[in-house]
Amino acid sequence: MDLGSALSIASSGLNGIEYQYSVVSQNVANSSTTGYASESASVTSAVAGNQGTGVRIGKTVVNVSPFLQSSLYTQNAKVSALTSSSNSLAAVESVQGSTSATSGDTQTLSDELGNVQSALTSLTSTPLDSSAQTAVITAATSLTDTIHTLASTYTQQRQTAENTIVSTVSTINQNLTQIGQLSKQIMGLQAVGSDTSSLENSRLEVMNDLSSELGVKFTETSKGDMIVTTEDGTQLPTRPDQIGLSNNTQTLPSNTWPLSATNGGTASTTITDSMYYKAGDPANSPIAGITVADGTTNTSTTDITSHLTSGTLGANITLRDTTYPTMQAQLDSFSATLINRFNNAGMSLFTNGTNTAQSYDTTKTTPDGIVGLSSAISVSDSYATTPSQLAPDGSISTITKVLSTTFGTSSDDVDDGGTLSAPTTGLGPSGTLQTGYSGTQGLVALATSLTSAQGAVIGTASTNLTYATAVQTTINTKVTNVSGVNVNNEMSKIVALQNAYTANAKIISSVQTMFSALLNAIN
């Protein structure tokens, strides 16, 4: 081998070592970056005429298992959804009380209702005692206060869900269009055979973030583009050209395209009890659906709210449109039954807060119906002002009837041909909600069923979160084994590269010395 060949081989070796150093340093620098996949340098021997001529630098390999990565994305969405649900429902749990505690020890509906019952029972012994009369009014007021607190909590958390939906859609848009921009760069570099590992890793990091916001699937094309769809296959474009439009129609990355969660604006809607989302019917749906650019025209969109599941977005859609409206409907049903059964016994202790008689239509707002009644229910002004009306002239006949029928459990007391049963279906302004439990129960049992049903929703979310997090940890470990950066291994590579660098440097130094000696000899 001549000196020129030796110098060429050693020089290419140094170039290969420099390249490998850059890959190792990239791995170490990103060892704690979420979503980063370790990279492997690709260096092979260069051979010409059965003789080694140095080393050849290839494309850097990103260490990814598509199957494991897909499983992790799916689990990320589940954990984020359950985390959002649990965090939101914790607010309800804090004001709801517990049915497992000793009766009277908490402020559950059944406890508050029991206090009214106890105060009325005490009043039968001393009907003319003003303090006993006031005790009934106090207990009744405490019950309505508890109902108001629950109703207010549902509304507040529903509003928080709506606000989160709008902000999350903005984040999803940013992530989608970042993926689109990175994919465009990757396709351009792949077309000319250039290395794309850094861009691929940047895209993986964004994909990881997106998987927590929404349940999505990723499919990479042969040209390097990334197709993003919802879990049921609905495409979420990352660039206009993916849906047949010119990329000039949008400035990317964007937080307002391709999804929209508002009716033409950027702010979230102020939620009221009478509002609900209904797909394809804007006239009855003041709560905006989530739309996606569909490529028909530059401005045309399609409502895909029902396709957006799991992740932070999916969870908050469910909280806003199903979970809290159902809880509100359960409480409205209870409030209507409370007023109805007291009225039926001849004691109009509870009212809707107006001078208009309460209607029991399940889809209209109070007083024309029961929607929102739990926010309006109050103790009658006449009883609150004159508690002696509870036992006029010391008569306890009405009180006795209330205790025996209003709090009764016989079919005549809880149903009476349907006139006294609690509404259980066709609830809410949409008429699609139901309580999930029997309406032909005593008042105390109804209150307990309501608390138990909502407690079950809270408990299920918490339990499922624990399980889902454990599964996520397991998958994460498997992904790390394939894609994670092992800093110890990377440092071992550095030692080996240092030794290789020293050897190649010595060859170059020796060749330089030989060339100098040769030149001196010639001179």
pLDDT of residue 214: 97
Establish if 478 belongs to a structural domain: no
The pLDDT of residue 492: 83
Q: Is residue 291 part of a domain?
A: no
Q: What is the pLDDT of residue 517?
A: 73
Q: Which two tokens stand for residue 290?
A: 């989530």
Q: Which domain holds residue 32?
A: 3-63+485-522
Asked if residue 204 is part of any domain, the answer here is: no
The confidence score (pLDDT) of residue 523 equals: 66
Place of tokens 């999350």: 168
Q: Which residue has the tokens 């993926």?
A: 179
Structure-model confidence comparison of residues 75 and 105, the more confident one:
75
- Does pLDDT of 103 surpass 50? no
Specify the pTM.
Answer: 0.88
331 pLDDT exceeds 50?
Answer: yes
Task: Provide the pLDDT confidence category of residue 125 given band limits of 50, 70 and 90.
Answer: very high
Contacts of 148 (CB under 8 A, 6+ apart): 374, 375, 377
52 belongs to a structural domain = yes
pLDDT band at 511, cuts 50/70/90? low
pLDDT at 101: 45
Distance CA 387, CA 511 (A): 111
For the four alpha carbons of 99, 103, 109 and 114, in that order, the dihedral sign comes to: positive
| 480 class by beta-carbon count within 10 Å (0-12 exposed, 13-18 middle, 19+ buried) | middle
State how far the Cα of 449 lies from the Cα of 113, in Å rounded to an integer: 13
Contact 59, 41 (CB under 8 A): no
Across the range 374-399, mean pLDDT stands at 95
Whether residue 506 is contained in a domain is answered as yes
- Residues in a beta bridge with 302: 292
The total of structural domains in the chain comes to 1
State the pLDDT at residue 498: 77
Q: Which helix (H) or strand (E) holds 371?
A: none
Report DSSP state, residue 277: -
Q: What are phi and psi of 173, to 5 degrees?
A: -60, -45
pLDDT at 151: 96
Instruction: Give the per-residue pLDDT at 37.
Output: 85
C-alpha to C-alpha distance for 398 and 392, rounded to whole angstroms: 9
Question: Which helix (H) or strand (E) is 487 found in, with range?
Answer: helix 487-522
Q: Residue 116 is encoded by which pair of tokens?
A: 């009214």
pLDDT tens-digit profile of 403-438?
999 999 999 999 988 899 999 999 999 899 999 999
The tokens for 173 are 């848009």
pLDDT tens figures, 202-217:
999 999 999 999 999 9
Per-residue pLDDT averaged across 131-158, rounded?
Answer: 96
In a domain, 318, yes or no: no
Q: At what angle do helices 109-125 and 130-191 cross, to 10 degrees?
A: 170
Counting Cα atoms < 13 Å in the Cβ hemisphere of 268 gives 18
- What is the distance between the alpha carbons of residues 287 and 428, in angstroms, rounded to a whole number? 15
| 251-263: average pLDDT | 88
Distance CA 146, CA 144 (A): 5
Domain membership of residue 264 (yes or no) is no
At 132, list the tokens.
Answer: 């006993």
Angle (nearest 5°) at CA 26 between 25 and 28: 60
Q: In this predicted structure, what is the pLDDT of residue 4?
A: 63
Residue 417 φ/ψ region, left for φ over 0, alpha for ψ in the -120 to 50 degree band, beta for the rest = left
DSSP-derived 3-state class of residue 295: coil
What pLDDT sits at residue 104? 43
The larger pLDDT score, comparing residue 454 to residue 13, is at: 454
Question: What is Dmax (Cα atoms) for the chain?
Answer: 137
Q: Is 24 helix (H, G, I), strand (E, B) or coil?
A: helix
Distance in angstroms (rounded) separating the CA atoms of residues 131 and 381: 18
Average pLDDT over residues 453-475: 96
Q: Does residue 240 register a pLDDT over 90?
A: yes
Residue with the larger pLDDT of the pair 500 and 307: 307
Radius of gyration from C-alpha coordinates of the chain: 35
Total Cβ atoms within 10 A of residue 314 = 26
Contacts of 263 (CB under 8 A, 6+ apart): 269, 282, 286, 288
Q: Is residue 438 part of a domain?
A: no
Mean pLDDT of 217-224: 95
Average pLDDT value over all residues in the chain: 89
What number is the average pLDDT over the span 273-287? 74
Whether the upstream peptide bond of residue 367 has omega within 30° of 0, thus cis, is yes
Select from 296, 303, 307 the least CA-distant residue to 263.
303
User: Comparing 40 with 350, which gets the higher pLDDT?
Assistant: 350
Q: Which amino acid would we find at residue 86?
A: S
- pLDDT above 90: percentage of residues in the chain: 66
At residue 102 the predicted structure's pLDDT band, cuts being 50, 70 and 90, is very low
If we measure between CA atoms, which residue out of 29, 23, 34 comes closest to residue 207?
34
